[in-house]
Amino acid sequence: MTKKYFGTDGIRGKVGEAPITADFLLKLGWATGRVFAKEGHGFVLVGKDTRISGYMFESALEAGLTAAGVDTRLLGPMPTPGIAYLTRTLRASAGIVISASHNPYYDNGVKFFSVQGTKLPDEIEKKIEHYIDSPITTVESSELGKAKRLVDAAGRYIEFCKASVPTRLDFSGMRIVIDCAHGATYHIAPHVFSEVGAEVVTIGAEPDGININDECGSTRPDKLAATVLEYRADLGIAFDGDGDRVVMVDHKGEIVDGDELIYIIAKSRLQSGQLTGPVVGTLMTNLGMEHALKKLGIGLMRAKVGDRYVMEMLIANSGILGGESSGHIICLDKTTTGDGIISALQVMAEMQSSGRNLHELKSGMQKYPQVLVNVKTSKKVNPDKDEAIQKAVKAIEKQLGDTGRVLLRASGTEPLIRVMVEGQSEVQVKDYAHHLADDVKKSIGA
């Protein structure tokens, strides 16, 4: 049974357009309440990022949960991984996050965590969808849910983050710049990093409801890089709007992406004897990371794009570390979901333990040039089933050998075929990518 509303990471869209409307969120809150009331659970946590529509959707979810007879604990602005942590440690029946992650302010969405602090199982999402398509009913007044704010949520999560690195490590003398993307980490990250001893310069920490992710954060780290150079900082750390992604900048102002950060953490875990299972990346993980890990004797497995699939592969193969080049990094030995703050702390811990700066730590991995070309389609096309396209792919793969790779995949959200070619020579890779895109266009009649 396919799901009608839930995607790979909850429900997301433009505010005011179905399904991201106040009436739908009211219904979603009620449907969620009905499911967890039937499961016999107690209360649901609701947190959000800093976008202006969060106020509206928080109220709508609260009303729906209340009508279903379920108590609500409101967290206010809180990073997504913080909501996962609190759902688990407070033993809530579920956690609800109102966020569109790295998207602009005019988008929003909802995602869920189970009592274990992980994504909801498919069967629970399907139960919720069943109730969404049913008429709302309200429990007897004496059975209505109650709502209250959890005032110590931020403090609890700050302490959890700090505990993810050994107390013996002294970060004093380390100057760092933090870009909070005017998002959910604005009142959390500065405290975490200053309380472990670092000197902190903070930017992107003045949310006004509409500036979230605007020319800042992990998707736009240019300002962070400039600020690192201006303050002669040891490193910079950029989060996205809901704090589950991180991108870093070294003291030279060079951007260090998710693949490079995963490599640094993997090598650190290996040297300390803590690495178990393979590292899990995605189809888009840079080939340079795969080759660098191979030199260390670490295997890489590739999941479909999306942290949900990375998590599934990690669990299935007893792994503890995985993620995406976008900076969504999962350290299962520390927490249950992608966490930007905790991932950054792991890298800083390796810097202190090894006595090496971030630029030196990333030098063991050489990123390969990667060129992505999007081909618009007028209909749904499976490039794997097209003989002409596959013939063109095989010809390029033969030329690249072990020094590159080709990836074609249909977008799950847009009428596009994504053509990606990766290899050691940027000129060669660009040439191959555009030639292959032309072949795809001819074959599908685009």
- The reply to whether 189 and 238 lie within a common domain is yes
Question: Is the bond preceding 19 in cis, omega lying within 30 degrees of 0?
Answer: yes
- Residue 369 in this model has a pLDDT that exceeds 70: yes
Please tell me the predicted confidence (pLDDT) of residue 415: 78
Give the residue-averaged pLDDT of 224-247.
98
Q: 310-314: long-range contacts at Cβ-Cβ below 8 A with a sequence spacing of 24 or more?
A: 310/280, 310/281, 310/282, 311/118, 311/119, 311/337, 313/280, 314/277, 314/280
pLDDT exceeds cutoff 70 at 293: yes
Q: 443 or 146: which carries more pLDDT confidence?
A: 146
Q: Is residue 359 part of a domain?
A: no
63 close to 145: Cβ distance less than 8 angstroms: no
- The domain tally of the chain equals 4
Pair (127, 42) in one structural domain: yes
Query: In this structure, are 228 and 268 located in the same domain?
Result: no
Q: How far apart are CA 253 and CA 233, in angstroms?
A: 9
In the numeric block, which tokens belong to residue 7? 């995607």
- Statement: the pTM of the whole predicted model exceeds 0.85: yes
The single residue of 101, 325, 326, 443 carrying the catalytic annotation is 101
pLDDT at residue 3, as a whole number: 84
What is the CA angle 406-411-416, rounded to 5? 90
| Same domain assignment for residues 384 and 264 | no
DSSP track, 345-372:
HHHHHHHHHHT--HHHHHTT--PPPEEE
Quickly state the pLDDT bin for 381 (edges 50, 70, 90).
Answer: confident
| Same structural domain, 138 and 31 | yes
Please say whether the beta carbons of 248 and 178 come within 8 A.
no
- pLDDT of residue 4 exceeding 80, the answer is yes
What CATH number corresponds to the domain at position 395?
A: 3.30.310.50
CA separation for the pair 79, 93 (Å, rounded) = 19
Structure-block tokens of residue 385: 């089933």
Question: 85 with 182, same domain?
Answer: no
pLDDT exceeds 80 at position 297: yes
Active site residue 101: yes
Number of helical (H) and strand (E) elements in the chain, helices listed first: 14, 18
Residue 271 covered by a domain: yes
pLDDT of residue 23: 97
CA-closest candidate to residue 165, choices 204, 198, 187: 198
Q: Distance of CA 103 to CAs 45, 50, 86, 242, 293, Å?
A: 23, 12, 24, 10, 31
- Asked whether residue 379 carries a pLDDT value surpassing 80, the answer given is no
Nearest of 405, 398, 397 to residue 424 by alpha carbon = 405
pLDDT 10s digits, 325-339: 999 999 999 999 999
Q: Is residue 384 part of a domain?
A: yes
Q: What is the mean pLDDT of residues 24-37?
A: 96
Mean pLDDT, all residues of the chain: 95
Q: Which of 254, 281, 316 is the last residue of a domain?
A: 254
Is the pLDDT at 370 greater than 70? The verdict is yes
pLDDT in tens, 37-71: 876 668 999 999 999 999 999 999 999 999 999 99
pLDDT of 84:
98
Secondary structure string (H, E, C) spanning 23-69: HHHHHHHHHHHHHHHHCCCCEEEEEECCCCCHHHHHHHHHHHHHHCC
pLDDT given at position 446: 61
In a domain, 351, yes or no: no
Q: Does residue 109 share a domain with residue 181?
A: no
Q: In this structure, what token pair is assigned to residue 386? A: 């097209």
- CB neighbours of 91 closer than 8 A, spacing ≥ 6? 115
- 349, part of any domain: no
Going from the C-alpha of 416 to that of each of 380, 437, 446, the distances in angstroms are 8, 11, 11
- In this structure, are residues 103 and 241 in contact, taking their beta carbons and an 8 Å threshold? yes
The strand ranges marked E within 49-174 are: 71-77, 94-98, 107-113, 147-149
d(CA 289, CA 367): 7
Structure tokens at 251: 């003291």
Mean pLDDT value of segment 310-320: 97
pLDDT of 412 reads 66
pLDDT at position 443: 86
Res. 173: pLDDT tops 80: yes
Residue 157 located in a structural domain: no
Residues 126 and 47 in one domain: yes
> Is 167 part of any domain?
no
**Same domain flag for 318 and 338:** yes
The answer on pLDDT for 1 being more than 80 is no
| Residue 55: other Cβ atoms inside 10 A | 12
Q: Are residues 283 and 229 in the same domain?
A: no
- d(Cα 316, Cα 76) in Å, to the nearest integer? 34
* Pairing, β 147-149 against β 246-250: unpaired
With both helix axes pointing from N to C terminus, report the angle between 340-354 and 258-271 in degrees, rounded to the nearest 10: 50
Predicted confidence at residue 313, as pLDDT, reads 97
CATH of the domain at 311: 3.40.120.10
**What 3-state DSSP class applies to 328?**
coil
Q: Is residue 29's pLDDT more than 70?
A: yes
Query: What pLDDT does 7 receive?
Result: 85
Tell me if 405 is assigned to some domain. yes
Which residues span the domain enclosing 420?
Answer: 370-444
Spatial separation of the C-alpha atoms in residues 113 and 160, rounded to whole Å: 18
Shared domain for 143 and 15, answered yes or no, is: yes
Same domain? 407 vs 324: no
Query: Phi-psi category of 22—alpha, beta or left, where left has phi over 0 and alpha has psi -120 to 50?
Result: alpha
pLDDT band at 272 (very low <50, low <70, confident <90, very high): very high
Lowest mean pLDDT among 219-223, 289-293, 305-309: 305-309
Query: Which pLDDT belongs to residue 445?
Result: 74
Structure confidence at residue 413 (pLDDT): 63
The pLDDT tens digits of the residues spanning 385-440 come to 888 899 999 999 999 998 999 999 887 667 789 999 999 999 999 999 999 999 99
Report residue 225's pLDDT band, with 50, 70 and 90 as the boundaries: very high
